[in-house]
């Protein structure tokens, strides 16, 4: 869905729009869900959009 939205904005509003990458935020690295979700994000977007290595954790 994100890639579709970016493509739509490029076509209709700003043809020179480019995405620097995806930043993962609010990650609770103590949970398997967060680890699994990050892996899925990297697998899904990694081929088309850069996924930054730095993960910003949730404040505890």
38 in a structural domain: yes
DSSP class of residue 56 equals E
Predicted TM-score (pTM) of this structure: 0.70
14 in a structural domain: no
Give CA–CA dist 23/55, Å, rounded. 7
Length of the chain in terms of residues written? 60
pLDDT along the chain (60 residues), means of 10: 87 92 93 95 86 90
8 in a structural domain: no
Q: Find tokens 């404040």 and name the residue.
A: 59
49 in a structural domain: yes
DSSP β-bridge partners for residue 24: 55
2 in a structural domain: no
The domain tally of the chain equals: 1
Domain that holds residue 47: 21-60
Question: Of all residues in the chain, what percent carry a pLDDT higher than 70?
Answer: 98
21 within 8 A of 49, measured Cβ to Cβ: yes
């Amino acid at each position: 869905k994100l890639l579709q939205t970016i493509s739509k904005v490029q076509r209709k509003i700003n043809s020179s729009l480019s995405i620097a990458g995806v930043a993962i935020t609010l990650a609770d690295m103590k949970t398997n869900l967060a680890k699994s979700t990050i892996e899925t994000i990297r697998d899904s977007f990694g081929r088309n959009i850069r996924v930054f290595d730095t993960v910003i954790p949730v404040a505890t």
